[in-house]
Amino acid sequence: MTTMAGKLDEKITPIYQEVLQRNPGESEFHQAVHEVLESLGRVIVKYPEFADHKIIQRICEPERQVIFRVPWQDDRGEVHINRAFRVEFNSALGPYKGGMRFHPSVYLGVIKFLGFEQIFKNALTGLPIGGGKGGSDFDPKGRSDDEIMRFCQSLMTELYRHLGEYTDVPAGDIGVGQREIGYLFGQYKRITNRYESGVLTGKGLDWGGSLVRREATGYGTVFFAQEMLRARGESLEGRKCVVSGSGNVAIYAAEQLIQLGAKVIACSDSNGVIVHEAGIDLDLLKQIKEVERRRIRDYADRCTDARYIDRGNIWDIPCDVAIPAATENELSGSDAKKLVENGCIAVAEGANMPTTPEGVHVFQDAGVAYGPGKAANAGGVATSALEMQQNASRDSWTFEYTEKRLQQIMQDIHHTCHETAEEFGVPGNYVLGANIAAFLKVGRAMVAMGLV
């Protein structure tokens, strides 16, 4: 549980109080809402029409929330019951779009925080996608392929009726990669008797997927870091970097950092940290995590000059650039202080809301270039929207072309956040820049569409 670090405008305080009252016990959702509302005081002064139309109150209330039972059988025949969620938060800009998360920590408050963030992130991409998110408290760790398949099939047997390429388009997130998307897509196709490629993104290349989608979130986060540094006359070349996690986002953030001449010296999982001062061996990391689906500890067993710190804190490792790419609230106020003391100059969030509110303020007060997740990791969903474009036109683009589109989108997002922060009198504050630019876009669309 974290405390909210900043103050709200006096006109916005009652709106936040109502959010607390209407959504009891959902601390992550409260945190995400508070962070956005902190940015909006300046907006309602300049544009009072948003208050007249109650746009803030409407944005904080999901358009639809679905909660359902997922019964499935393990390999021994034992029956398990999980709970799944799909929160269709806001469709002002397009169909609901956002990933599915499979992790035992999932409950409604986590999915609502992620869905809320997704509205603003998707708006920043400039592409026609609304915000949504889903998931289940199912724990995929240690489960066989057959068990994962049966779980995904059972989940989709309910979820399919809420989806559609013009309605709601899920993708992956923690615990959901291409394997799970395959099982979900197969069951959707079977139930609906439709080969509707645009209903899910993150698909395999042979069946409607897009090149660069796998790499997109990690690559995009690094492109955003590069832009933040460029705006200060700096670069990533030769920088020492640490990347938390060792999943999809972490691996491809590390890959792009290395391609841009930086050195990645540490990564992690929920059990421990690997430090490899000579630079992480990406092929070995991919072999262990993507091919063998094993734990990060194995890296040190196979690479003698790397060390494994059981239960270690990755933010204790001195670095120039930090990329949190594991999960929410993984980087506390004291972790942020440690990073600043150790000379960290930039933080780009690959994960969603990985830095606590105290941590964010530590970075901002210290003048660290800090890119919040909803801007920095938007490359994943942006490339999902590019996958939808390719599906709609029955086309497939080359890696080079798709990567160029991703890079341009990340540069545009950086530019939008940077310019908006300047316009509202807070230069260099990417949090305010992102929140305000995204809110204006969604808010204007909602006003235009009337009271719906």
Active-site amino acid positions: 133
Q: Which is nearer to ligand NDP, 416 or 446 (CB)?
A: 416
Residue pair 33/8 in contact by the 8 Å Cβ criterion: no
- The answer to whether the CB of 271 falls within 8 A of the CB of 308 is no
Q: 110 Cβ partners below 8 Å, 6+ apart?
A: 28, 29, 101, 135, 328
221/364 with CB nearer ligand NDP: 221
How would you classify the pairing of strands 130-136 and 307-310? unpaired
Residue type, 381: V
**Is 39 one of the binding residues for ligand NDP (CB under 6 A)?**
no
x-or-dash string of contact with ligand NDP, 180-219, rule CB under 6 A: -------------------------------------x--
Among 23, 197, 246, 256, binds ligand NDP (CB under 6 A): 246
Instruction: State in angstroms the smallest separation of the CB of 152 from ligand NDP.
Output: 15
Q: Distance between CA atoms of 432 and 327, rounded to whole angstroms? A: 22
What's the rounded Cα separation, in Å, for the pair 118 and 90?
A: 9
The Cα-based distances of 105 to 100, 118, 135, 175, 269 in angstroms read 13, 19, 10, 12, 15
Q: Judged by CB, which is closer to ligand NDP: 3, or 271?
A: 271
In this structure, are residues 131 and 61 in contact, taking their beta carbons and an 8 Å threshold? no
Nearest-CB residue for ligand NDP? 247
Sign of the torsion angle spanned by Cα atoms 302, 289, 265, 338 = negative
Residue 237 CB, shortest distance to ligand NDP, in Å, is 25
What is the nearest approach in angstroms of ligand NDP to the Cβ of residue 125? 11
- Indicate which single residue of 31, 136, 248, 435 sits in contact with ligand NDP (rule: CB under 6 A): 248
Instruction: Report if residue 329 touches ligand NDP, rule: CB under 6 A.
Output: no
Determine contact, residues 155/185, Cβ cutoff 8 Å: no
- State the chain's maximal CA–CA distance in angstroms: 64
Does 435 bind ligand NDP (CB under 6 A)? Our answer is no
Show the site string, 146-175: x = touches ligand NDP by CB under 6 A, - = not: --------------------------xxxx
Q: What's the Rg (C-alpha) of the chain? A: 21
| Interface with ligand NDP: number of residues (CB under 6 A) | 23
DSSP string, 336-388: HHHHHHTT--EEE-SSSS-B-HHHHHHHHHTT-EEE-HHHHTTHHHHHHHHHH
User: Closest distance between ligand NDP and the C-beta of residue 351, in Å?
Assistant: 3
Which C-beta is closer to ligand NDP: that of 131 or that of 443? 131
Can you read off the two tokens belonging to residue 440? 């204006």
Rounded Cα–Cα distance for residues 203 and 211 (Å): 10
x-marked contacts with ligand NDP along 354-393 as a string, rule CB under 6 A: -----------------------x--x-------------
Residues 263-292 binding ligand NDP (CB under 6 A) are: 269-271
Answer yes or no whether residue 332 interacts with ligand NDP by CB under 6 A.
no
Residue 31 and residue 198: Cα distance in Å, rounded?
Answer: 32
The residue range among 150-158, 319-327, 390-398, 444-452 that interacts with ligand NDP, by the rule CB under 6 A, is 319-327
Residue 267 φ then ψ, to 5°: -150, 180
Nearer to ligand NDP, 72 or 224 (CB): 224
> Out of 31, 327, 416, 435, which residue is the one contacting ligand NDP (CB under 6 A)?
327
Binding site for ligand NDP (CB under 6 A): 172-175, 217, 245-250, 269-271, 325-327, 330, 350-352, 377, 380
